[in-house]
Amino acid sequence: MGYIKGYDPDSLRELVDPAECEARLVEISDLRSLPSMLERVWLLKVLDRLDDALVLADEAVRQARMAGTRKDLLRARVLRATVQQYRGAHAAADHELTACVAEAEGQGWVPIAAFAHQHRGRNAFEAGDFDQARESFKRTVFLRREAGADDAALEAALLAVDTVERRRDPVAVNG
């Protein structure tokens, strides 16, 4: 998404301009395609309108199941899991993300597997499971390299690994 201005170094959540996100949400509010639904879910999530985001995420998953591809369905499920994460339902988010990782890796869909691992790591990080977060973020780096990701995508994943390392053992990192 072009609305991400960076990542909070403490929470690893996206940094966005709320006014820009609100304007985009209004702009696409009447669109019903799956990509526009997924974008609206993401916008609602980062704007902290989590109840609306979850309802729309469930609808997007249903639409992807009925009319989309398996890849579309995986993307919708990952996004729905991130809404669960933002709502504090870390166990439910991890369950969904673990299933998405397994399917994407099993199918050889490297970019989607990296996307799912990234979000599994962020969920684990927020839940305080730094070992799982580190494992997921390192897998994200590996998969993104395999997929030929650009430097910005790799840098974001490496920043996440570094952040987890600092949280896991602040004494070793800070001296």
Mean pLDDT, 10 residues at a time, over the chain (175 residues)?
81 93 96 96 98 98 96 97 98 98 97 96 96 96 93 87 84 49
What pTM was computed for the model? 0.91
Q: Give the pLDDT confidence score for residue 170 in this predicted structure.
A: 59
Cα dihedral 86/89/95/99 (nearest 10): -30
DSSP class per residue in 100-129: HHHHHHHHT-HHHHHHHHHHHHHHHHHHT-
Q: What is the pLDDT of residue 168?
A: 77
H/E segment holding residue 16? strand 14-16
